[in-house]
Structure 1
Amino acid sequence: MNIRRILATAVAAAVTTPVILLSVTPALADANPSAASRAQQQGERDKPSIEELEKAAEKAQKAYDDAVAAREAARVVLEAALSDEAPLTVAAKNARKEAADAATAKENADKALADAQAALAALPETATPEEKAAAEKAVADAEAAAVSAEEAKTTADAKAATAGQVADDARVAAAREYSKVQNAPEEALKAKEAADKALADAKKEETEPDEPGCVFESKLSTVVTGLPSKIVAASTTDFSLRVTNGTDKTLDEVSPRVYFHATDKGGYNVIDDAFHLQWSTTASPAWKNVQGSTAGSIRPLKAGAHADVKLRLKVDAEAPAGHGLAFVAGDYVNDDESCGGNMSTEYEFELLAAGSAVDDVDDAKPGKTTPDTPHTPDSKPQGGTSTTPVDSADPAGTGSLASTGSPSALPQLAAAAGAAAALGAVVVFVGRRQKAGSAS
């Protein structure tokens, strides 16, 4: 099956389905030739047509345009809410002025009352009854005015407080709505670019000969040990991956694959970038960064042999608490251009905030093997479509690892393709390499 069409299938499915994370690994019942042939035929039938990819690209374009328009509309609303001319802001300003005027009126009423009381007290003993009555009435009138001014001030203060709170709430609501759509265009653009590339690759495929197909190899196993079920941000965790060749033939080059995907507790914010993974082996002890998802290269791995990869995971301190999955898989390519691999296995773990205390944590247990149906939440893809060969650190072929020294080149399938498509898709990983050093 041509690898460009496989990638096109992954992207088109991701763009046109509501579930983001998927794997395009063929769900073969076994590894016998007839099963592989039937799976390949099924894959050929399931490949999207050019017309379907064009529709997917149009849908992705519309989603991008809508995201840009939504952000612009939210920005206009936010700017209006923050403006001094916003109706609620003006109302709050007027209410504050009324409260200030009421306070001044109360001060004047209190002063008038004090003056009237002083005038009454200053009346001489020779004052006439009429003069005393007038002074007493002035005091009574001033007292009534002071009470009325106090009530007016209380009412004005409450009105000002309410108007101010309403204006503040409107500004906060506008800012919150803007934050929801602020980054949507960038995410939609990634999906659009992925859909456009899938379409371009599919069109290009029509003029190119098919590349050799790859098969699912259930006897190539990848098993993790020592990965805790709870991982704390700002921590460093060492664990290992054992790759075992359970077949009866030597696999000329095997590539272990490891990818960490996580979200915050809400499940909306992908935090894959907070995870930094390195690998090391006895034959190649210096720690090296995992490129994309490639944790070194085993050359060769003899029948019945295994190789152990030491892995070191560092998590950024600012990573929020959440939930994560570690995907592990393996693929191989032989000198005769035959290739294959296994499906990715999920190891679920809980991500704790930096400084969290953990006691007696069990190892993460292997969960389901990723099939070709979408299941898991959104993720950013990483992966590789080519591996640059290097001289093996183990020429005897016992299965020690040698660094590829080459970053992954699997096209970024945007958030739509997901970690499983980047890691668990055996055909994507292994179908791209005909021989070490050849182009995909």
Structure 2
Amino acid sequence: MSNSFFEKTFKLSQHKTTVSTEVLAGLTTFMTMAYILAVNPGILSAAGMSFSGVFTATALSAMVATLVMGLYANMPFALAPGMGLNAFFAFTVVLGMGYTPQFALTAVFVEGLIFILLTALNIREAILNCIPLNLKKSISVGIGLFIAFIGLYNAGAGIVIQGTGIPLDIADITSGAPLVTIIGLLITGSLLVFKVRGALFLGIIATTVIGIPMGVTKLPESIFSSPPAPILFAFEWHNILTVDFLFILFTFLFVDMFDTVGTLIGVATKADMLDDQGRLPNAKKALFADAVGTTVGACLGTSTVTTYVESASGVAEGGRTGLSAVVTALFFFLALFFSPLFAVIPGAATAPVLILIGLFMLTPIKDIDFEDYTESIPSFLTFIIMPLTYSIANGIMWGVTSYIVLKTVAGRGREVPVLTWFIAALFIIKIIFPVFIQGTLE
């Protein structure tokens, strides 16, 4: 294809980017989130689902949703089954509450349909736009800390571990994955210092190679595999009118909605994609991609699909248009046939990139108004709660709720948009509703 085709389709010059930059960004995004191809089937197989079937569903749902994001919304964000929600699916709904995977997939499917409706009615976009500007900046900071913590704790690096007598501690970094991660961090950091193009991607490749003699990178016997069949339309409708179903549906809806909103705001802030009013152009189209991904994913046999914070890695490499998302989607498709090859890249090789992305996403903190405590305290709670609770949604919940309380106490309640009050009410319902459900079930 000619450059004119890409220019016409993705408006590259308008976004001050090039084909080569977008391709590199898309590949980098894929490399940092490819772990989901192994992790998601591993989690859902604990609930009795086929590992191979979930692998195919994961790759296909990520490909479809990311293509919609790239071709329809023209944004450099990638999507895949979300971490956290897949654990809720497997360990709470199936193993904890005793329901079948089909029951949980039905809840995910209904969630996707509801999100399509809410997106069509502009409700999700309105929620995204009603978050105050300082909180949007703090969401970017919080996601940066969150990503860095993922890289340090459980992305295969194992540098930060559970402590004895203290919550967290530093692991033995003299061998194994922690040492490989540190070497990769030094290599990638050095490439950034010298402004080498594609530093993040080259760092992943170099660290993967270094991990071979150190026993961290495991070479496959074959690089090719035939994609197994997904778990198609495995739904169970006879329990959808129960209180349990409503509780499960509400949880999926709540976490996915605010994780997606937080990710879009955070990564878009880093990419300088917000307008003067702090709004994200084409937000409705981006949210539609997320809703379609969840619906298609449920039909294929996987948990909720959401926008990935690892998209920040592609943005850090210069990705600014949907072309980078299309490239990421292409690699998810290729992964169906070369899964052993992609599985070679260890978490210790992608962890340094996640840690450095955390640094990149801290930059909006300098623009937060720390002199006004009605702004700075909610902002601080937003970005500190995210990594500590392992939840973007929790950070937004604490930030928005404290924002309203402090503005009201200061006699400045009129500064709070009406819809922001409604969002705070949803957060309060989220806190109270599980308690009510638990009492009902008992």
- TM interval, short-chain normalised: under 0.3
Q: Name the one with the larger helix percent.
A: 2
Q: Name the one with the larger strand percent.
A: 1
TM-score (structure 1 length as normaliser): 0.23
* Higher RCO (Cα < 8 Å, 6 or more apart): 2
TM-score (structure 2 length as normaliser): 0.22
Tell which structure's C-alpha radius of gyration is larger: 1
